[in-house]
Each structure stands twice: as C-alpha cells, then as structure tokens.
Amino acid sequence: MARSILDNLEQLTGKTLLVRVDFNCPLAEGQVADSTRIDRVLPGLKKLTDAGARLVLLSHLGRPKGQRLPQFSLQPVCDYLSSALGYSVPLLAEPVAAERPAAGKIVMLENLRFWPEEEANDQGFAARLAALGDIYVNDAFSCAHRAHASTDALARLLPAFAGPVMVTELQAVGAALEDPQRPVAAVVGGAKVSTKLDVLTHLIDKVDILLLGGGMANTFLAAKGMDMGASLMEPDLIDTAADIIAAADKKGCKLMLPEDGLAAVEFKAGAAHRHIPNHAILNAEMMLDIGPTAISHYQEALAGARTVLWNGPMGAFEIAPFDRATVALARTVASATQAGELLSVAGGGDTVAALNHAGVTEQFSYVSLAGGAFLEYIEGKTLPGVAVLAE
C-alpha cells in the first residue's frame, strides 16, 4: 500500500515537496472554465503548506506534443490558484532549483508536456525535476495509469508518498472491490462493449449483480438473439458478449439486461420516440435508453445491494427523454447512500457528467474524476503511478 503524506506532516517543516497534480482542466478565454479538479485537491495542498512545507506543483494540460504552445500554458491555473489561496502562485518557465518557494507557499512548474521527455519517462528529465525538491507526492490518481517522468521515474529518485486525494481514491475503490459489504452490484453503461471488455471480465469475478445499459447493452441483447434494428451495436463482439453472459452465469454473477427501451429513428432533441419491448423494435429505430420496466427491475436489484460500483450512463443522457434511466437509477443509488444503506463509488468516462446531470454527484460515497485510470484500476490492472509508491 502506498504511504500517505498526511501520516508524515510533522516531518514536513521547511521541506520542498514536488506534488504531481492533475490540473488538466478546460479553459475559456484565458481562464479556468471548470475548476473541479483543482478544487478537489486544494484542501490537501493547504494541509501540506500549513505544516510548513514548500510546494512545487507539477501538472500537464492538453496535448502540446513537446512544444511550447501558449494555449496550453498553465498560467490561467496559476491565476485561479492565486485567487483561491489569497497570494500569488508564480509559474516557473523552467525546472530551476534556485526558484524554490518560500515556506508555506506554492509555485507551479509550466506544463510538463512542453518537454517531450515527460511522456518518454526520461530519467534525465526526472533528475532535473528531482533537483527542485526533497520529497515526491503523487496526488493525481487520474494520471497514475501512465508511466511518465512525473509519475514514475521521478518517484524513484525521492522519498515518495501518495497525496490525500490519491489515498481517498484507492481506499474508495478498494472498499468497493477488495473487501466490500455484500451483495455488490455494478452498474455499467456506455456506448461500446469494446471499451469495457476487461472491466466486465474482471467484474463478474468481483460482484454479485451486473446491471448493463447504454449502447453496449444492445450487443449483449443481440447475443441473446434479439434484432436491435438500427441501434448502436458491435456485431464483431456478439460472440464475446455471449461468452461473458455464460461466464457470469457459471460464476454466480447475476447479469441483468433491459427488457424494454425508448426507441427513436433520430437522435436529436425533440425526436419522436416510443416505449417498446426489445422485440418490437423496427429496422430504422435505435434503442437510446432502457425502458421503465427495466428501470423498475434494476431498482429492485439495487435495493438489495450493500455496495454499488457505477461506470457509464444507461442511455444517451445528453438529450431528454433518453436521460430517464440514468437519472432514475442514479437517484436511487444516491438516496440509499444518504440513508446509510450502501456504499456507492463511481467513476470513469462519462460517469461524472451523467451523475452531474442527475444532480447526485455529491450524494454518492465517492465519485472519481479519473477516466482511464479508474477503468484500468477496476479492470484489476497495476497502475505504474500507484505501484511505484509502494516500492
């Protein structure tokens, strides 16, 4: 298990910490447009500075591909931090050790991906970064699936610890998958089976109930002999879906598929749609959400769960009324969570946007902002940025 930096606060006075964060947030007109990622780590950063530590923040932004492109500068992030913290947070153009911050203060290095050596996990670049500080802290779980200089090589050059958010992420997912209260239900949606194959294969070994929705459910329904009309589907994965259904049955995992849905010929706001059982779909129609019968059955399954892991929307939630299932089931989980009846952990891909749309993000036990890292972790894969902290 990775060591937590919060267990070592008394040793931080006067020390310079290199803190890997993920401030890869959207910008608009030179300002931070969505500060969610920054706001989540700020309380932990304040605990470190209150303990007398000096912080050098390390982050990437976008994909500048080793070029110094002004639209990818972290200056807007520094401006936001300066406003939030009440003092100026300078942006360092180069990793120069002489520019360490004052005690209890923060500086930020320019976008790590301005240097091609970052994504190459270059040892020399990691050594230049290491010269900036005394201790390494990774508080960017969302970047932990990448073996880059700032997540892997650097952690091998200094005493390395997990930051507060990283620890919370690992504990939350661990509570849902490694030592959960049972029954455990997983709600898995999204467009394609191909992006969730490893997730599904791993989950049928871990959970008691697997509830499928979204476009990926169409491929599973096709594997059970259903004609899904013009619905989004992956014909080349029908046999794979059938294998997953068989494996779940063999391992005692109850795999649930929708019996009905909302179908439409067009995917657009105001499109004519109808509620139908799966077998009644027409050739020109697409299933764009699971139906009320399926919602009711899924809610009954969730009512008996004590742990819920959620990844992906149940339908095309971006446009009403195809958001009904996502909203209804998310609120069911949120309500049970708030009543103390279950632990709920969500993350990956469009999950945060879907839960925000349902208005329940703050009512889940934990919602991870990580995309690929969250998926790889629940697939059972080793994340380089986590593994190195335990060495």
Spatial distance between the Cα atoms of 170 and 178, rounded to a whole number of angstroms? 11
Tokens of 53: 């530590």
Only one residue has tokens 């982050």, namely: 59
- Cite the active site residues: 37, 192, 349, 372
| Alpha carbon distance 67, 82 (integer Å) | 26
Question: Would strands 260-264 and 286-290 be described as parallel, antiparallel, or unpaired?
Answer: antiparallel
Intra-chain end-to-end CA distance of the chain, in Å: 9
Q: Tell me the C-alpha to C-alpha distance, in Å, between residue 191 and each of 207, 222, 257, 271.
A: 21, 15, 15, 20
Contacts within 8 Å (CB) and 24+ apart, 233-241: 234/192, 234/193, 234/194, 237/193, 237/194, 237/197, 240/193, 240/197, 241/193
Residues in the chain: 391
Tell me how far CA of residue 101 lies from CA of 54, 95, 300, 379, in angstroms: 6, 12, 55, 39
